[in-house]
A and B are shown apart, each in its own frame.
Chain A
Amino acid sequence: MSSTNSRTTNLPKLTNPEAASAMFDAVRTVAEQSFFAVAEPADDRSFGVAASKVPRWLVATVVFEQGALAGSVSCTLPEKLANGLFDAFTGRDPAEAAPVATLVHDLVGEFSNMVCGAWLTRVESSRTFTLSHPSVEPALTPAAAGDLRLVAAIDDLPVAVDLRLQPLRRVNGAAQA
């Protein structure tokens, strides 16, 4: 298997409107089913305006491998949205003590895990895939766009989902972006 040929073959498929539509559908389904959150499409301009008002972000990245296709999906969310999704997912009573950061990071990682998995299932339902354990990092600004970027609004807050295609490296047997 040539990683260069695989990448060239797969890029047009993954950056076409159908792939972007599948990504938004995955985001919306995850947001609604598990988080009771409203996901709406956005454009770069409205995302930029909304993003300028966000002081802190969380970036959750999942590395995937599906046949010849390999890469990562990163979900960048405002910290405020992450806390809201945490409450919705767990049914947390607002009167309870606020969760510690590690639990919110876990939740955002699971969000990204579900978005990536839901997208891969839509893109190629006949192929199984592997997903890494999510990595979650705080950030002061959204990361640079990947090979495919979807911008959206979840509960009226800006969200970016970035797909990056790359050759798969294996470190100690585990997939690494």
Chain B
Amino acid sequence: MRSAAESFAPELSAARRLVIGIGEFAVSNRPGDVIVTHALGSCIAVCIFDPRAGVAGMLHFLLPESSINPERARQQPAVFADTGIPLLFEAAYQHGFSRKRAIVTLVGGAEMTQAAGSSFGTGRRNALAAKNVLWRAGVFVSGQEIGGTGARTLYLSVSDGRMEVHNGQTYKEL
């Protein structure tokens, strides 16, 4: 783990930041862009990168299945793994992204404890839901940084697919 001072985050001042929140996604093919998401707790960020097409994307979803709230899924499909992940890929395909070349990383899925010290296991459910959707789509997961108990901030560089996960005072590259 490195300290925050050594990360590539300071370079962001010269880059275009695409900040996404819960239930949002972004795709870019502009070198120099950095896709960022904050407060990644039990949610999962699905990060995709095609090194040949130079396309990267990130989805920050909250819940596993749209069937638990079809109305919300209609209005905010990116909130759910099963509706959000296909949207992310569809958007990436518009930029020449190839599923066969996809490098896919999952980040998040922390167990955020409730007041009574228990958790609903949402982080675990979200991680499994993401893997299920990706397997159904015929996409392998290349790496993951999931679990734990703390919220994360995640940066994805569109230029080279490099990722940094920040957790408190330290960060690590994926």
Cβ of B124 under 8 Å from chain A: yes
Q: Does B17 contact A (CB under 8 A)?
A: no
**Complex alpha-carbon distance, A38 and B64, angstroms:** 11
Contact B128 A36 (CB under 8 A): yes
Residues of B contacting A36 in the complex (Cβ-Cβ under 8 angstroms): 128-129, 131-132, 135
Q: Which residues of A contact B136 (CB under 8 A)?
A: 87-88, 91-93
Q: Across the two chains, which residue of chain B brings its CB closest to A87? A: B136
Asked if A40 lies at the interface with its beta carbon under 8 angstroms from chain B, I say yes
User: Is the pair A38, B138 in contact by a Cβ cutoff of 8 Å?
Assistant: no
* A87 and B133 alpha carbons, distance in the complex (Å): 11
Q: State A36–B132 Cα separation when bound (angstroms).
A: 6
Is residue A14 contacting chain B, with contact meaning CB distance below 8 A?
no
Within 8 A of B (CB), among A116-143: none
Interface size class of B (residues with CB under 8 A): 10 to 19
B138: chain A residues at CB < 8 Å are 91
Contact with B along A63-96 (1 / 0, CB 8 A): 0000000000000000000000001100111000
Q: B96 within 8 Å of A by Cβ?
A: no
Beta-carbon contacts of B103-144 to A below 8 Å, as 1s and 0s? 000000000000000000100110011011001101000000
Q: Give the A-B contact count at a CB cut-off of 8 A.
A: 21
Does A51 count as interface, using CB distance less than 8 angstroms?
no
A37 at the interface (CB under 8 A from B): yes
Known: A36-B129, A37-B128, A88-B136. 18 other contacts (CB 8 A): A32-B128, A36-B128, A36-B131, A36-B132, A36-B135, A38-B121, A38-B124, A38-B125, A38-B128, A40-B121, A87-B136, A88-B132, A88-B135, A91-B135, A91-B136, A91-B138, A92-B136, A93-B136
Chain B residue with Cβ nearest A40? B121
Interfacial chain B residues near A91, Cβ < 8 Å: 135-136, 138
**Complex alpha-carbon distance, A91 and B132, angstroms:** 8
Q: A38 CA to B111 CA in the complex, in Å?
A: 14
Residue of A nearest to B138 (CB): A91
For A92, give the chain B residue with the smallest CB separation.
B136
Closest residue of chain A to B133, judged by CB?
Answer: A36
Give the distance in Å from the alpha carbon of A93 to the alpha carbon of B135 in the complex. Answer: 10
CA distance A93 to B125 in the complex (A): 20
Docked complex: A9-58 residues within 8 A CB-CB of B: 32, 36-38, 40
Contact residues in B for A92 (Cβ distance below 8 Å): 136
Task: Kindly report which residue of chain A lies nearest to residue B130, judged by CB atoms.
Answer: A36
Interchain Cβ contacts under 8 Å between A and B, 21 examples: A32-B128, A36-B128, A36-B129, A36-B131, A36-B132, A36-B135, A37-B128, A38-B121, A38-B124, A38-B125, A38-B128, A40-B121, A87-B136, A88-B132, A88-B135, A88-B136, A91-B135, A91-B136, A91-B138, A92-B136, A93-B136
CB distance from B124 to the nearest CB of A (A): 6
Closest to B124 in A: A38
A36 to B121, CA, bound (A): 14
* Smallest beta-carbon distance A42→chain B, Å: 13
* Complexed CA–CA distance, A92 and B135 (Å): 9
What are the residues of chain B within 8 A of A38 when measuring CB–CB?
121, 124-125, 128
Query: Min CB distance, A9 to chain B, in Å?
Result: 38
